[in-house]
């Protein structure tokens, strides 16, 4: 039980920071989720330290998935200062993600 609390508090800390965090909710059995891996690596290369990217297994972290209304995987959620700036299910290409993130963090 302590591990779970520790995990969720570190998740809360991660998404509460000044640096935007893109959370990728995924499942091991999900084909499109696997397609997101190289896309997210490319995005991280493109954006560097301006963004943090974390992957969360939606089945192992069902509480978080339910809390953030994850109904399908992959689900991407962009957080800054603990607030959701953007959320979408499905595969999104790196260039499009970069545009969305830049737009959201400058307008948010």
What CATH number should be reported for the domain holding residue 92?
A: 3.40.30.10
% of the chain with per-residue pLDDT over 70? 91
* Mean pLDDT (the chain, rounded): 90
Please tell me the distance from the alpha carbon of residue 47 to that of residue 45, in angstroms, as a whole number.
Answer: 6
Residues 31-70 have pLDDT tens digits of 999 999 999 999 999 999 999 999 999 999 999 999 999 9
| Catalytic residue of the set 15, 22, 23, 33 | 33
Q: What pLDDT does residue 70 have?
A: 96
- 3-state secondary structure (DSSP) of residue 76: strand
Number of domains in the chain: 1
Known catalytic membership, residue 74: no
- The pTM of the whole model exceeds 0.75: yes
Range of the domain at 99: 2-107
Confidence at 11, pLDDT banded by 50, 70, 90: confident
What distance lies between CA 10 and its chain's CA centroid? 14
Average pLDDT (77-106) is 96
Known catalytic membership, residue 30: yes
| Catalytic residue of the set 7, 8, 14, 30 | 30
Q: What is the DSSP letter of 1?
A: -
Q: What pLDDT does residue 106 have?
A: 86
């Amino acid at each position: 039980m302590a591990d779970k609390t520790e995990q969720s508090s570190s998740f809360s800390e991660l998404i509460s920071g000044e640096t935007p965090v893109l959370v990728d909710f995924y499942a091991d059995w999900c084909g499109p989720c696997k397609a997101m891996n190289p896309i997210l690596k490319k995005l991280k290369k493109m954006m560097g330290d301006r963004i943090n990217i974390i992957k969360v297994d939606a089945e192992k972290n069902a509480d978080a998935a339910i809390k953030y209304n994850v109904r399908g995987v992959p689900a991407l959620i962009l957080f800054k200062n603990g607030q959701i700036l953007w959320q979408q299910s499905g595969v999104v290409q790196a260039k499009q993600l970069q545009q969305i993130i830049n737009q959201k963090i400058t307008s948010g």
